[in-house]
Amino acid sequence: MSRFLNSRYSALEPYTPGEQPKVTGRLIKLNTNENPYPPSPRVLDVINDTELQKLKLYSDPAASELTEAIAEFYGLRQEQVMVGNGSDEVLAFIFMALRGSNDVIYYPEISYSFYPVYCDIFQARGVKVPLRDDFSIGASDYFNLDGTIVITNPNAPTGRALTLEEIESILVNNEENLVVIDEAYVDFGADSAVRLIDKYDNLLVVQTFSKSRSLAGARIGFAIGSEEIIADMNKLKFSFNPYNLNRLSILAGTEAMKDVEYFDDTRNRIIETREDFVKEMTELGFDVLPSKSNFVFASSDRISGEAYFKALRERNIIVRYFRDNKICNYVRITIGTPEEMKALTDATREILADG
């Protein structure tokens, strides 16, 4: 630590991203929930020489083309959409400032591990709400709280989802609190709360292009809410980094949003692969939580989470392992192509036979 770091940040424990290996050629990478399919061909078409020349110019600070495409996809007004440099940045603005007057933010005890880091850096008081024994989120555990509520739906790393009725019950029982639904994985089988936006002015939905739209490297996330909340979000953005989306990402995101056919085709393929994979893993004796995401959370009595993670790594397959006590017997496996999942189940058979 240098002598220049303000002491307020000296104990900050940063978020640990999943491994991003430099050479992926020989690796099957199923550790950070990326999409195994490339971005829409329309994205590849639009990033051309002319657009590269235009990189000498700043990007549109309002990212209007993109917010318009998102609004059109959901049948909303552009003023109800704000975009960020990945949904991580969108979430950062929420933890920074949308926490009412008492600075408290509630979120599930087992969830996206960035939330406690944001609480730490922005000095909000994070309150962890335990999951139920089956790793589900109990909607009623969030009724009548006294701060902002952030819920990942489907949750990560469990993959379990709340129904729209359960989310609505949380909204109804928290009229004075902002309820943020982080829908990073919603397109793989859960119901989006976007359709409740015009009904509840205490709802803010956060989504990303990183998963279901194959653009993790473009860093595009967005928030959907009432015009008032979105105006607040934009106020924060324009006070921090007005050109937060680069020109190429605005173009890429716009085309990806418009290519509904490709979006539906690729996400349906992933859902289908997931269902086949769950069946196979269950046959191999794994306990697999019901997943509405592009990943599954699995454990086995025959091998510890850590041993399984390491054995797969030795066979050039990377999955995600978390050391936290309550989930250390599980691994989180991203759904890749059918070929990648077959390589994983073949390797698993070998590992179990060796063990």
| Binding residues vs ligand PMP (CB under 6 A) | 86-88, 112, 152, 156, 182, 184, 208, 210, 216, 221
Cβ distance to ligand PMP smaller for residue 97 or 352: 97
C-beta nearest to ligand PMP: residue: 86
CB 183 to ligand PMP: min, Å: 8
Distance CA 185, CA 210 (A): 9
CB 221 to ligand PMP: min, Å: 4
Cβ distance to ligand PMP smaller for residue 171 or 206: 206
- For the chain, the first-to-last Cα distance in angstroms comes to 43
CB 213 to ligand PMP: min, Å: 10
Dihedral sign computed on CA atoms, order 58, 41, 263, 342: negative
Contact 151, 108 (CB under 8 A): yes
Coil, helix or strand at residue 207: strand
Distance CA 90, CA 229 (A): 12
- Tokens found for residue 221: 């996330």
Cβ distance to ligand PMP smaller for residue 332 or 347: 332
Distance CA 232, CA 226 (A): 10
CB 105 to ligand PMP: min, Å: 15
Cβ distance to ligand PMP smaller for residue 82 or 351: 82
Cβ distance to ligand PMP smaller for residue 221 or 225: 221
- Tokens found for residue 180: 């943020």
CB 177 to ligand PMP: min, Å: 20
CB 252 to ligand PMP: min, Å: 14
Backbone angles phi, psi at 321, to 5 degrees: -120, 135
The 10 Å CB-count burial string (b at 16+, else e) for 310-334 is: ebbeeeebbbbbbeeeebebbbbbb
Cβ distance to ligand PMP smaller for residue 89 or 232: 89
